[in-house]
Amino acid sequence: MNRLYLDWNATTPLRPEAKAAMIAAMEVVGNPSSVHAEGRAAKALIERARAQVAAALGAEGADVIFTSGATEAAALGLGGRDLSSAPIEHDAVSAWCRDDLVVDGWGRVVVPDPARATLQLANSETGVVQYLPEGLALSDLTQGFGKLPIAFNWMGITAGIVAAHKLGGPKGVGALIVKRGTDVAAQLRGGGQEMGRRAGTENLIGIAGFGAAAEAAARDLAAGVWEEVAEIRNILKSALEYPTKDVYFPGWETSGDRQAATGGMPALLPNTLSVISPGWKGETQVMRMDLMGFAVSAGSACSSGKVRASRVLAAMGWPEDQAGSALRISIGPGIGRDDVLRFAESFRAAHEKHRARL
Protein backbone atom coordinates (compact mmCIF):
# COMPACT_ATOMS: atom_id res chain seq x y z
CA MET A 1 0.00 0.00 0.00
CA ASN A 2 1.39 3.42 -1.00
CA ARG A 3 0.36 5.65 1.89
CA LEU A 4 -0.47 9.30 1.32
CA TYR A 5 0.20 11.89 4.02
CA LEU A 6 -2.56 14.51 4.06
CA ASP A 7 -2.15 15.96 7.55
CA TRP A 8 0.29 18.82 6.95
CA ASN A 9 -1.47 21.13 9.43
CA ALA A 10 -0.58 18.69 12.21
CA THR A 11 3.06 18.55 11.22
CA THR A 12 5.02 18.79 7.99
CA PRO A 13 7.73 16.55 6.55
CA LEU A 14 11.22 17.71 7.51
CA ARG A 15 12.79 19.86 4.80
CA PRO A 16 16.19 18.70 3.52
CA GLU A 17 17.59 22.16 4.27
CA ALA A 18 16.52 21.80 7.91
CA LYS A 19 17.95 18.30 8.16
CA ALA A 20 21.29 19.44 6.76
CA ALA A 21 21.45 22.38 9.16
CA MET A 22 20.64 20.12 12.11
CA ILE A 23 23.32 17.60 11.18
CA ALA A 24 25.88 20.40 10.88
CA ALA A 25 24.82 21.79 14.27
CA MET A 26 25.42 18.40 15.87
CA GLU A 27 29.12 18.88 15.23
CA VAL A 28 29.22 22.15 17.20
CA VAL A 29 30.30 21.26 20.72
CA GLY A 30 30.12 24.57 22.57
CA ASN A 31 27.45 25.92 24.91
CA PRO A 32 26.00 29.11 23.39
CA SER A 33 26.45 30.88 26.74
CA SER A 34 30.18 30.17 26.92
CA VAL A 35 32.58 32.93 25.93
CA HIS A 36 35.31 30.75 24.40
CA ALA A 37 35.58 30.04 20.66
CA GLU A 38 33.44 26.91 20.81
CA GLY A 39 30.70 28.73 22.68
CA ARG A 40 30.83 31.66 20.28
CA ALA A 41 30.45 29.25 17.35
CA ALA A 42 27.29 27.81 18.91
CA LYS A 43 25.97 31.29 19.66
CA ALA A 44 26.59 32.32 16.06
CA LEU A 45 24.38 29.48 14.82
CA ILE A 46 21.55 30.64 17.06
CA GLU A 47 21.86 34.24 15.97
CA ARG A 48 21.92 33.16 12.33
CA ALA A 49 18.71 31.21 12.86
CA ARG A 50 17.17 34.17 14.68
CA ALA A 51 17.89 36.36 11.68
CA GLN A 52 16.51 33.73 9.28
CA VAL A 53 13.23 33.44 11.20
CA ALA A 54 12.92 37.22 11.50
CA ALA A 55 13.51 37.70 7.77
CA ALA A 56 10.98 35.03 6.80
CA LEU A 57 8.40 36.68 9.07
CA GLY A 58 9.18 40.23 8.00
CA ALA A 59 10.15 40.87 11.61
CA GLU A 60 13.59 42.43 11.26
CA GLY A 61 14.26 44.52 14.34
CA ALA A 62 11.73 42.63 16.46
CA ASP A 63 12.76 40.24 19.23
CA VAL A 64 12.63 36.56 18.28
CA ILE A 65 12.61 34.48 21.47
CA PHE A 66 13.19 30.78 20.88
CA THR A 67 11.08 28.33 22.89
CA SER A 68 10.28 24.61 22.93
CA GLY A 69 7.32 25.19 20.60
CA ALA A 70 4.26 27.35 19.99
CA THR A 71 2.64 26.10 23.20
CA GLU A 72 5.47 27.48 25.34
CA ALA A 73 5.55 30.62 23.21
CA ALA A 74 1.84 31.13 23.95
CA ALA A 75 2.45 30.66 27.67
CA LEU A 76 5.33 33.14 27.57
CA GLY A 77 3.31 35.72 25.65
CA LEU A 78 0.00 35.28 27.48
CA GLY A 79 0.83 34.16 31.00
CA GLY A 80 -0.33 36.55 33.69
CA ARG A 81 -2.42 38.63 31.31
CA ASP A 82 -6.19 39.05 31.07
CA LEU A 83 -6.97 38.84 27.36
CA SER A 84 -10.04 37.96 25.34
CA SER A 85 -10.06 35.26 22.68
CA ALA A 86 -12.54 33.35 20.54
CA PRO A 87 -13.38 29.64 20.92
CA ILE A 88 -11.72 28.91 17.56
CA GLU A 89 -8.26 29.41 19.06
CA HIS A 90 -5.84 26.54 19.65
CA ASP A 91 -6.00 25.08 23.16
CA ALA A 92 -2.51 26.48 23.86
CA VAL A 93 -3.96 29.99 23.50
CA SER A 94 -7.42 29.39 24.99
CA ALA A 95 -5.82 28.00 28.16
CA TRP A 96 -4.66 31.53 29.04
CA CYS A 97 -7.59 33.64 27.80
CA ARG A 98 -11.28 34.33 28.23
CA ASP A 99 -13.29 32.82 25.34
CA ASP A 100 -15.65 35.77 25.04
CA LEU A 101 -15.20 36.94 21.44
CA VAL A 102 -17.99 36.02 19.05
CA VAL A 103 -17.47 33.90 15.92
CA ASP A 104 -19.83 34.20 12.95
CA GLY A 105 -20.97 31.42 10.63
CA TRP A 106 -18.03 32.02 8.29
CA GLY A 107 -15.52 31.62 11.10
CA ARG A 108 -14.72 35.33 11.31
CA VAL A 109 -14.11 37.16 14.58
CA VAL A 110 -14.63 40.83 15.41
CA VAL A 111 -12.30 42.22 18.08
CA PRO A 112 -13.74 45.28 19.90
CA ASP A 113 -10.61 45.96 21.99
CA PRO A 114 -7.51 44.68 20.15
CA ALA A 115 -5.07 45.73 22.87
CA ARG A 116 -6.79 43.32 25.26
CA ALA A 117 -7.30 40.43 22.86
CA THR A 118 -5.61 37.68 20.90
CA LEU A 119 -6.69 36.38 17.50
CA GLN A 120 -5.18 33.67 15.32
CA LEU A 121 -4.18 34.47 11.77
CA ALA A 122 -5.55 31.23 10.33
CA ASN A 123 -7.50 28.29 11.69
CA SER A 124 -5.95 24.84 11.44
CA GLU A 125 -9.30 23.04 10.99
CA THR A 126 -11.21 25.22 8.53
CA GLY A 127 -8.37 27.25 7.03
CA VAL A 128 -10.28 30.50 7.62
CA VAL A 129 -7.96 33.53 7.57
CA GLN A 130 -8.70 36.45 9.89
CA TYR A 131 -8.18 40.18 9.54
CA LEU A 132 -5.86 41.14 12.38
CA PRO A 133 -6.77 44.56 13.76
CA GLU A 134 -4.18 47.23 14.50
CA GLY A 135 -2.85 47.03 18.05
CA LEU A 136 -3.73 43.37 18.62
CA ALA A 137 -1.95 42.07 21.73
CA LEU A 138 -0.93 38.71 20.26
CA SER A 139 -1.66 36.46 17.29
CA ASP A 140 -1.10 32.76 16.72
CA LEU A 141 0.70 32.90 13.37
CA THR A 142 1.56 29.20 13.40
CA GLN A 143 -0.63 27.94 10.54
CA GLY A 144 -0.08 30.99 8.34
CA PHE A 145 3.72 31.17 8.65
CA GLY A 146 5.23 29.89 5.43
CA LYS A 147 1.88 29.64 3.63
CA LEU A 148 0.74 33.27 3.66
CA PRO A 149 2.63 36.52 3.00
CA ILE A 150 3.32 37.70 6.55
CA ALA A 151 5.10 40.93 7.42
CA PHE A 152 5.11 41.18 11.21
CA ASN A 153 6.48 44.69 11.17
CA TRP A 154 3.56 45.91 9.05
CA MET A 155 0.74 43.91 10.66
CA GLY A 156 0.32 46.25 13.60
CA ILE A 157 0.34 43.45 16.17
CA THR A 158 2.43 43.43 19.34
CA ALA A 159 3.39 39.74 19.46
CA GLY A 160 3.09 36.51 17.51
CA ILE A 161 3.80 32.82 18.07
CA VAL A 162 5.18 30.30 15.56
CA ALA A 163 6.36 26.67 15.46
CA ALA A 164 9.11 25.13 13.33
CA HIS A 165 7.35 21.86 12.53
CA LYS A 166 4.50 23.61 10.70
CA LEU A 167 6.82 24.74 7.87
CA GLY A 168 9.26 21.88 7.44
CA GLY A 169 11.38 22.35 10.55
CA PRO A 170 11.88 19.98 13.48
CA LYS A 171 9.35 19.33 16.22
CA GLY A 172 10.02 20.78 19.64
CA VAL A 173 11.10 24.32 18.74
CA GLY A 174 9.13 27.53 18.25
CA ALA A 175 9.34 31.23 18.95
CA LEU A 176 7.60 34.21 20.44
CA ILE A 177 8.07 37.33 18.32
CA VAL A 178 7.53 40.69 20.03
CA LYS A 179 8.07 44.30 19.10
CA ARG A 180 11.42 45.53 20.39
CA GLY A 181 11.03 46.94 23.90
CA THR A 182 7.90 44.94 24.78
CA ASP A 183 7.85 43.62 28.36
CA VAL A 184 7.85 39.82 28.52
CA ALA A 185 7.81 38.18 31.95
CA ALA A 186 10.00 35.07 31.96
CA GLN A 187 8.16 31.84 32.78
CA LEU A 188 11.36 29.77 32.97
CA ARG A 189 13.88 31.43 35.26
CA GLY A 190 17.53 30.69 35.76
CA GLY A 191 20.19 31.87 33.37
CA GLY A 192 19.92 34.91 31.16
CA GLN A 193 19.36 33.09 27.86
CA GLU A 194 17.09 34.50 25.13
CA MET A 195 17.49 38.11 26.23
CA GLY A 196 16.51 37.17 29.78
CA ARG A 197 13.04 36.04 28.65
CA ARG A 198 13.51 32.24 28.54
CA ALA A 199 16.12 30.57 30.74
CA GLY A 200 17.77 27.28 29.85
CA THR A 201 20.44 26.18 27.40
CA GLU A 202 19.07 26.69 23.90
CA ASN A 203 18.10 23.76 21.69
CA LEU A 204 20.93 24.47 19.27
CA ILE A 205 20.15 21.64 16.84
CA GLY A 206 16.43 22.39 16.68
CA ILE A 207 16.94 26.13 16.38
CA ALA A 208 19.40 25.66 13.49
CA GLY A 209 16.81 23.49 11.72
CA PHE A 210 14.11 26.08 12.38
CA GLY A 211 16.16 28.84 10.80
CA ALA A 212 16.96 26.82 7.70
CA ALA A 213 13.33 25.75 7.32
CA ALA A 214 12.07 29.32 7.66
CA GLU A 215 14.47 30.53 4.99
CA ALA A 216 13.45 27.74 2.60
CA ALA A 217 9.75 28.34 3.32
CA ALA A 218 10.13 32.01 2.42
CA ARG A 219 11.70 31.04 -0.91
CA ASP A 220 8.85 28.66 -1.68
CA LEU A 221 6.26 31.30 -0.85
CA ALA A 222 7.93 33.86 -3.10
CA ALA A 223 8.13 31.31 -5.91
CA GLY A 224 4.35 30.72 -5.85
CA VAL A 225 4.53 27.16 -4.54
CA TRP A 226 1.48 27.62 -2.31
CA GLU A 227 -0.60 28.99 -5.17
CA GLU A 228 -0.01 25.64 -6.88
CA VAL A 229 -1.02 23.86 -3.67
CA ALA A 230 -4.26 25.86 -3.61
CA GLU A 231 -5.07 24.67 -7.13
CA ILE A 232 -4.65 21.05 -6.04
CA ARG A 233 -6.80 21.68 -2.96
CA ASN A 234 -9.53 23.11 -5.20
CA ILE A 235 -9.39 20.01 -7.39
CA LEU A 236 -9.88 17.90 -4.26
CA LYS A 237 -12.89 19.95 -3.17
CA SER A 238 -14.54 19.60 -6.59
CA ALA A 239 -13.86 15.87 -6.61
CA LEU A 240 -15.58 15.50 -3.24
CA GLU A 241 -18.33 18.06 -3.66
CA TYR A 242 -20.27 17.00 -6.72
CA PRO A 243 -20.23 13.18 -6.71
CA THR A 244 -20.65 12.84 -2.94
CA LYS A 245 -24.05 13.46 -1.40
CA ASP A 246 -24.65 15.37 1.83
CA VAL A 247 -21.21 16.80 2.49
CA TYR A 248 -20.45 20.35 3.62
CA PHE A 249 -17.31 22.49 3.59
CA PRO A 250 -17.10 24.86 6.58
CA GLY A 251 -15.52 28.22 5.86
CA TRP A 252 -16.10 28.10 2.11
CA GLU A 253 -18.99 30.55 2.07
CA THR A 254 -16.58 33.13 0.67
CA SER A 255 -17.36 36.40 -1.10
CA GLY A 256 -15.69 39.55 -2.29
CA ASP A 257 -16.51 41.19 1.02
CA ARG A 258 -14.93 38.28 2.83
CA GLN A 259 -11.74 38.59 0.80
CA ALA A 260 -11.51 42.29 1.57
CA ALA A 261 -12.08 41.61 5.28
CA THR A 262 -8.78 39.72 5.49
CA GLY A 263 -6.79 42.79 4.49
CA GLY A 264 -5.88 41.49 1.05
CA MET A 265 -4.84 38.00 2.16
CA PRO A 266 -6.61 34.91 0.83
CA ALA A 267 -9.82 34.13 2.69
CA LEU A 268 -8.59 30.59 3.34
CA LEU A 269 -5.28 28.81 3.81
CA PRO A 270 -4.18 27.40 0.45
CA ASN A 271 -3.88 23.81 1.65
CA THR A 272 -6.81 23.15 3.98
CA LEU A 273 -10.19 21.49 3.44
CA SER A 274 -12.69 20.67 6.17
CA VAL A 275 -15.42 18.23 5.15
CA ILE A 276 -18.53 17.48 7.20
CA SER A 277 -20.35 14.18 6.58
CA PRO A 278 -23.36 14.29 8.92
CA GLY A 279 -23.85 11.14 10.96
CA TRP A 280 -20.34 9.78 10.31
CA LYS A 281 -18.11 10.52 13.29
CA GLY A 282 -14.87 12.23 12.45
CA GLU A 283 -12.81 9.73 14.45
CA THR A 284 -14.40 6.87 12.52
CA GLN A 285 -13.60 8.58 9.25
CA VAL A 286 -9.96 9.03 10.31
CA MET A 287 -9.61 5.34 11.19
CA ARG A 288 -11.32 4.21 7.99
CA MET A 289 -9.14 6.38 5.77
CA ASP A 290 -6.05 5.29 7.70
CA LEU A 291 -6.84 1.66 6.90
CA MET A 292 -7.19 2.69 3.25
CA GLY A 293 -3.72 4.28 3.27
CA PHE A 294 -4.43 7.97 3.95
CA ALA A 295 -3.28 10.05 6.92
CA VAL A 296 -5.89 12.69 7.72
CA SER A 297 -7.33 14.07 10.96
CA ALA A 298 -10.56 15.08 12.62
CA GLY A 299 -9.19 18.45 13.72
CA SER A 300 -6.23 19.82 15.64
CA ALA A 301 -3.63 17.13 16.30
CA CYS A 302 -3.59 18.19 19.96
CA SER A 303 -7.27 17.31 20.39
CA SER A 304 -8.32 15.05 17.51
CA GLY A 305 -7.68 11.92 19.58
CA LYS A 306 -10.44 12.95 21.97
CA VAL A 307 -13.99 11.88 21.15
CA ARG A 308 -15.77 15.21 21.05
CA ALA A 309 -17.30 17.60 18.58
CA SER A 310 -15.06 20.31 17.14
CA ARG A 311 -15.42 23.42 19.28
CA VAL A 312 -14.28 25.43 16.26
CA LEU A 313 -17.23 24.25 14.18
CA ALA A 314 -19.59 24.54 17.16
CA ALA A 315 -18.52 28.16 17.59
CA MET A 316 -19.37 28.74 13.92
CA GLY A 317 -22.90 27.50 14.58
CA TRP A 318 -22.71 23.95 13.27
CA PRO A 319 -24.97 21.56 15.24
CA GLU A 320 -23.16 19.14 17.56
CA ASP A 321 -23.79 16.07 15.40
CA GLN A 322 -22.30 17.83 12.39
CA ALA A 323 -19.46 19.42 14.33
CA GLY A 324 -18.51 15.90 15.40
CA SER A 325 -18.60 14.58 11.83
CA ALA A 326 -15.79 16.60 10.28
CA LEU A 327 -12.64 15.48 8.54
CA ARG A 328 -9.66 17.77 7.95
CA ILE A 329 -7.52 17.26 4.89
CA SER A 330 -4.38 19.42 4.73
CA ILE A 331 -1.88 19.09 1.91
CA GLY A 332 1.46 20.56 0.92
CA PRO A 333 3.99 20.86 -1.89
CA GLY A 334 4.54 17.57 -3.66
CA ILE A 335 0.92 16.46 -3.32
CA GLY A 336 -0.39 16.27 -6.88
CA ARG A 337 -3.64 15.99 -8.78
CA ASP A 338 -3.50 12.20 -9.01
CA ASP A 339 -2.91 11.98 -5.26
CA VAL A 340 -5.98 13.96 -4.26
CA LEU A 341 -8.15 12.24 -6.86
CA ARG A 342 -7.09 8.87 -5.43
CA PHE A 343 -8.07 10.08 -1.98
CA ALA A 344 -11.40 11.43 -3.26
CA GLU A 345 -12.24 8.12 -4.91
CA SER A 346 -11.47 6.20 -1.71
CA PHE A 347 -13.39 8.67 0.44
CA ARG A 348 -16.46 8.49 -1.78
CA ALA A 349 -16.42 4.68 -1.64
CA ALA A 350 -16.16 4.71 2.16
CA HIS A 351 -18.84 7.40 2.38
CA GLU A 352 -21.26 5.35 0.29
CA LYS A 353 -20.68 2.26 2.43
CA HIS A 354 -21.43 4.31 5.51
CA ARG A 355 -24.63 5.71 4.01
CA ALA A 356 -25.77 2.21 2.99
CA ARG A 357 -25.61 1.14 6.63
CA LEU A 358 -27.87 3.97 7.83
Residue 197's SS3 state is: coil
CA-based nearest residue to 287, from 240, 354, 333, 232: 354
Looking at 26, 287, 291, 302, which residue is catalytic?
302
Beta partners for residue 296, in sequence order: none
Round to whole Å and give the CA distance between 340 and 349.
14
The Cα 220–Cα 226 span in angstroms is 7
Q: What is the 3-state secondary structure (H, E, C) of 208-222?
A: HHHHHHHHHHHHHHH
Beta partners for 160?
139, 177
Least Cα distance to 60 among 218, 249, 221, 270 occurs for 218
What does residue 305 show for φ and ψ, rounded to 5 degrees?
-80, -5
Annotated active-site residue 97? The verdict is no
Dist CA 114 CA 138 (whole Å) = 9
Q: Which residues are annotated as catalytic?
A: 302
